[in-house]
A and B are shown apart, each in its own frame.
Chain A
């Protein structure tokens, strides 16, 4: 474990900070569809490169209008969920009919992530934030250093490379729920085949004006008998 000693603060006590993640989840994908937002993530969590946990929920509801999905350090995600729970609790305690929407939660998280990176103690996650409030769909992302943006479809980690090209080709504004799920499953299947940290147990979450539903975990149908899968190193000269 590599620890960073802080000596610049003037006082003699040295602060130790974790410099890299331990237990991590892989990609999350989010898309807008006709009635709201869909999000997909598998349930694996790796300890380094070991697939250590297989039932970790990485998509969670936040308040009435938002959904958060996380890749990266699982313990940091749990910390984020704790502070969001507190945020929503205090928001509800006003009891005045106002409530935080996905945009507000997204901005709050952006501030939190950027603030922690400024302390050289980042929360090691890429977060996807989606939701619907007052008929407005919202989908955005924040990285561990506070980079944030909105888009019609987003993906973290490997998903950025493998899922987003598919989404760019096939996503459109009027996707039905069924078509949206099919599109997400297509992306998740590609990730399952090509991302070594992905596991074949995933959840899909939906948020609309009516509320949040997170699916039961399920597996995708796979077919491993393609030639390239049978003999992966053929033609890869110089590789073992």
Chain B
């Protein structure tokens, strides 16, 4: 039942210097259905896979708008994700009440990370079981961040979280170097291809994925199902043919622009979460 005697409490260290409860929370992110994000100079695209619990139910919402310039895609415990996206919304609206300008994305991400960190240091709390891909646009351009339950955060060019996200990451790693100069539609195309990678052969339709965009002159919004279906058909992604890509250096690690320079290896393989 228990992995060991040091995992019953968030605040208890193992002799090896690990916090098992926090690591379990990081595992919860991998259980959730996949979410991916990628950005160019001017746009960020988020996409996620909608899983239904039963044939009879609808799927849960996994992409949330925090403000006109910020949106978030989640993987893990959806309930925790909703709580955190409500927090993000209120931070955004409070900032624009005080300053009549949009909250810088990096600041929201730090506040979110600090909130998650507190849960790893209080005996009466539990870490959030959700990973968040935060997409946003501010004065310094387009940004994509990943926030995890441990309280760490990283900025990415492109990233994928959730179940079978490794396949999407491999796809993105092969192509990310071109993303900075990509057009909005190129990003959407790559987002849909990356999402398809996580499906493992299942047919990609607009009913099993959600796509959202934010960019210069374009407030964050979730694309409606018709638009997504049109994109899938236009790009002919639905089928099983290989993505039209020239493989570049396939073993390139994903970019870690500055933010997490001292955080060791990036999370490109399924390493133990606390190794991040």
* Partner-B contacts on A (CB < 8 A): 94, 96-98, 100-101, 103-104, 107-108, 111, 134
Q: Which residue in A96, A97, A98, A104 is a CB contact (below 8 Å) of B100?
A: A104
Residues of A within 8 A of B100 (CB): 103-104, 107
Closest B residue to A98 using CB positions: B104
Please state if A94 and B107 are interface contacts (CB–CB under 8 Å): yes
Q: Which residue in B97, B98, B99, B140 is a CB contact (below 8 Å) of A97?
A: B140
Q: Which residue in A94, A108, A134 is a CB contact (below 8 Å) of B99?
A: A108
Please state if B98 and A108 are interface contacts (CB–CB under 8 Å): yes
Q: Which residue in B98, B99, B101, B106 is a CB contact (below 8 Å) of A96?
A: B106
Please state if B101 and A104 are interface contacts (CB–CB under 8 Å): yes
Please state if A96 and B107 are interface contacts (CB–CB under 8 Å): yes
A97-B140, A98-B139 known; A111-B107 Cβ under 8 A: no
0/1 interface trace, chain B 109-143, chain A, CB 8 Å (1 if under): 01000000000000000000000000000111000
Residues of A within 8 A of B106 (CB): 96, 98
Please state if A104 and B99 are interface contacts (CB–CB under 8 Å): yes
Residues of B within 8 A of A100 (CB): 99
Residues of A within 8 A of B110 (CB): 94, 96
* Partner-A contacts on B (CB < 8 A): 97-101, 104, 106-107, 110, 138-140
Residues of B within 8 A of A103 (CB): 99-101
Contact sample, A vs B, 14 pairs, CB 8 Å cutoff: A94-B110, A96-B104, A97-B140, A98-B104, A98-B106, A100-B99, A101-B101, A103-B100, A104-B99, A104-B100, A104-B101, A107-B100, A108-B98, A111-B97
B22, chain A: closest CB distance, angstroms? 25
B65, chain A: closest CB distance, angstroms? 22
Residues of B within 8 A of A134 (CB): 139
Residues of B within 8 A of A96 (CB): 104, 106-107, 110
Please state if A98 and B98 are interface contacts (CB–CB under 8 Å): no
Q: Which residue in B99, B138, B139, B140 is a CB contact (below 8 Å) of A107?
A: B99
A103 CA to B138 CA in the complex, in Å? 16
A101 CA to B100 CA in the complex, in Å? 11
Please state if B140 and A98 are interface contacts (CB–CB under 8 Å): yes
Residues of A within 8 A of B99 (CB): 100, 103-104, 107-108
Residues of A within 8 A of B101 (CB): 101, 103-104, 107
Given contacts A96-B106, A96-B107, A107-B101, list 19 more A-B pairs with CB under 8 A.
A94-B107, A94-B110, A96-B110, A97-B140, A98-B104, A98-B106, A98-B140, A100-B99, A101-B101, A103-B99, A103-B100, A103-B101, A104-B100, A107-B98, A107-B99, A107-B100, A108-B98, A111-B98, A134-B139
A96 CA to B140 CA in the complex, in Å? 10
A137 CA to B82 CA in the complex, in Å? 40
A96 CA to B106 CA in the complex, in Å? 8
Closest B residue to A107 using CB positions: B100
A111 CA to B96 CA in the complex, in Å? 11
A98 CA to B138 CA in the complex, in Å? 10
A104 CA to B138 CA in the complex, in Å? 14
A94 CA to B114 CA in the complex, in Å? 13
Residues of A within 8 A of B140 (CB): 97-98
Residues of A within 8 A of B98 (CB): 107-108, 111
Closest B residue to A105 using CB positions: B99
Residues of B within 8 A of A104 (CB): 99-101
Residues of B within 8 A of A101 (CB): 101
A96 CA to B110 CA in the complex, in Å? 10
Which of B97, B100, B107 is the most central at the interface, judged by chain A CB atoms within 10 Å of its CB?
B100
Closest A residue to B103 using CB positions: A98
A103 CA to B139 CA in the complex, in Å? 14
A100 CA to B101 CA in the complex, in Å? 10
Residues of B within 8 A of A94 (CB): 107, 110
A98 CA to B110 CA in the complex, in Å? 13
A148, chain B: closest CB distance, angstroms? 10
Closest A residue to B106 using CB positions: A96
A18 CA to B106 CA in the complex, in Å? 42
Closest A residue to B107 using CB positions: A94
Which of B97, B99, B100, B110 is the most central at the interface, judged by chain A CB atoms within 10 Å of its CB?
B99
The 9 closest A-B pairs by CB, nearest first: A104-B99, A107-B100, A98-B104, A96-B106, A107-B99, A104-B101, A108-B98, A111-B98, A108-B99
A103 CA to B101 CA in the complex, in Å? 8
Closest A residue to B139 using CB positions: A98
A96 CA to B104 CA in the complex, in Å? 10
A196 CA to B110 CA in the complex, in Å? 53
A159, chain B: closest CB distance, angstroms? 26
Residues of B within 8 A of A107 (CB): 98-101
A83 CA to B252 CA in the complex, in Å? 49
Residues of A within 8 A of B104 (CB): 96, 98
A80 CA to B10 CA in the complex, in Å? 44
